[in-house]
Amino acid sequence: MSSYTVGAQPRCYALVPAAGVGARAGADGPKQYVALAGRAMLAHTLAALAQVPGLAATLVVLSPDDEQFEAAVPEFHGERAWVARCGGATRAESVANGLNELSARGAQPHDWVLVHDAARCLLRPEWVVTLMAACRDDAVGGLLALPVADTLKQSVEGRVTATVDRREKWAAQTPQMFRLGLLQSALAAAGDVVTDEASAIEALGHQPLLVQGALENFKITWPADFELAERLLRSRA
């Protein structure tokens, strides 16, 4: 297991990969810019992170040809609001590029990075605070997740082939919180096949901590998710 000699208190950074095109969502353009309750989806996500105490900065990783961000999220500015148009073809590549950008801006290998999906726009600051408190003294880091409640079915061509034991099964969420240096090494070793940061950490032989999240912290993926997110955001207002 990696160890770090820490001379100063580790800082915490948020990293939001937002370079995707949202192909599964059926939206007309990148889904992070779809309006929900009067604001771009990404604006809701960043507003929640802006309310988290203890974050040194939030870095948004955009596609190199993104021309929508500033107009869609005009309130994202200031010393703790960072933008880098260095997104890649995959989530893993975008996160890896974002980690390099954090390093270039002064983040150290022992600092914590909380990677959060742009499309989990119902995030609440208190959930992030809970994750940070649980992971600060952990040797590995961890992630928000939910124990699976539904019966799980395995299928082939639309027909059930087996019922999967749901005991000890969790649905991964974000943020996922790991040391910058460890996460850089993990992603470099895993390549672009991993769909979340915890998978890359696991591939190095580590066991991330599971911190119970909330049902509302779902990722907008399918067309029907937009309507549900809209209702929930309006109910909060």
pLDDT digits (tens, 9 = 90+) for 131-182: 999 999 999 999 999 999 999 999 999 999 999 999 999 999 999 999 999 9
CATH number of 12-236: 3.90.550.10
Say how many residues make up the chain: 237
The predicted structure's pLDDT at residue 20: 79
pLDDT of residue 3: 47
Using CA atoms of 29, 236, 115, 6 in order, give the dihedral in degrees to the nearest 10.
150
Distance CA 85, CA 60 (A): 8
Confidence at residue 237, expressed as pLDDT on a 0 to 100 scale? 74
Which residues of the chain, if any, have pLDDT below 70? 1-7, 21-28
Query: pTM here?
Result: 0.92
The reported pLDDT for the residue numbered 2 is 46
Q: Would you state the structure tokens that stand for residue 37, as one six-digit string?
A: 């309750």
Segments making up each domain of the chain, as ranges: 12-236
CB 4 within 8 A of CB 141: no
Q: Shortest CA distance to 59 belongs to which of 41, 76, 35, 40?
A: 76
pLDDT of the residue at 28? 65
DSSP string, the chain: ------SSPPPEEEEEEE----GGGT-SS-GGGSEETTEEHHHHHHHHHHT-TTEEEEEEEE-TT--SHHHH-TT--STTEEEE----SSHHHHHHHHHHHHHHTT--TTSEEEE--TT-TT--HHHHHHHHHHHTT-SSEEEEEEE--SPEEEEETTEEEEEEP-TT-EEEEEEEEEEHHHHHHHHHHHGGG-SSHHHHHHHTT--PEEEE--TT-----SHHHHHHHHHHHHHH-
